[in-house]
Homo-oligomer: A and B are copies of this chain.
């Protein structure tokens, strides 16, 4: 029996897609950068079926590329002429437990649905980013995705208590702990989270839910410099007891690109400013969230007091605090259109670097200088989870040949790493950052990763050619 027949036996003929038309949705990613039709797409509907699929692939020595929402930015699910294992049919929320505040979901549940399911119990599942309407939790965990509130809630890893994994040979690994403390052996959960499907296929997860903030203070703030922005962050954190959820930096070029490319986009302030920050503080405790006799909300007052004080000192140039949910949504929409704007130019090098907070200004100054050195007319596009030191720096070169693009990518990575930073803060490695892994990651770390890959996937069948550079 050939592999296709075995896969059909595992999932039924309706769930094994072949032929140009059937596999078309998997033949290119949404950015248009990763193009190439898979040989077939297999869509198991249960953990048992995933196990059968992997056992069949293992027996046949056939490689498999796990995929879910396919909103990643590094080509981690790129699968030309490969078999895609799509988790999209595994889209059940198995349970929401409001008492112990957790949610059990299969890998194919879209983030937005998790948000809704939590909110129905007056709780939140905090993990969120622009692609929340199509990203699925399996992929978010496999990428260890970040987003706009890592500052307060951590990355995907921190929001997960347990996972279920199908190994390369089809064995099912049950790590579905609902406990907040469990020290029973190696931290296997953490090994599979962020491994981009190269060590196993995450099929389900136990996710933490958290109290829903009762009120938000959301504001657009213009500051004279990034350093002033970081001072603002420190002041807000102190004033609110660490309740800053988002601290998103957008320079003038971002605002202009947003105005140019997004219908209905508006200026955040009456006058243009070089440095704009969107800040959001979430108040959980009643004393911060409940309106006073005059209708003012304490958390909003806290933020306004800090802003007023810094404005007196010239450290804040302008500020607009959202007065309605509509205004808040407009602020978020401005930030969340970043990915869409990034890909509007014919040539681009998008990156996801992190540097220590006190090197952010130096990073931007240095990379601009260095970029001008090899492409004087190049433009750039910057948006940053500033509080995490994470900058999405996109270069728009004047020409698109691959050597030039690779040279620019290397320039950005080099610059970040030379400042004590990382070439991948939250998007992962996939295939676009393999060369950076080879150049910049501690070589012993890469050797250890290869040893782990060989131990758990000795035939090299799980998402080959991703995450870990070859020798």
Contact = CB atoms under 8 A, between A and B. Distances in A.
A278 interface: no
A221 interface: no
B181 A155 contact: yes
B354 A448 contact: no
A interface, how many residues as a size bin?
Answer: 35 or more
Given A287-B302, A357-B100, A452 B173 contact: no
B184 A444 contact: no
A185 B445 contact: yes
A181 B422 contact: yes
Interface string A174-201: 1101111111111110110111000100
Contacts of A15: none
Contacts of A99: 357-358
B456 A175 contact: no
**Copies of this subunit:** 2
A389 B187 contact: no
A444 to B, nearest CB: 5
A186 B469 CA distance: 12
A257 interface: no
A390 interface: yes
B241 A285 contact: yes
A422 B182 contact: yes
Given A146-B181, A174-B442, 15 more contacts: A99-B357, A150-B180, A158-B158, A167-B448, A178-B356, A181-B354, A181-B388, A181-B422, A182-B422, A183-B422, A183-B425, A185-B445, A186-B468, A187-B193, A452-B456
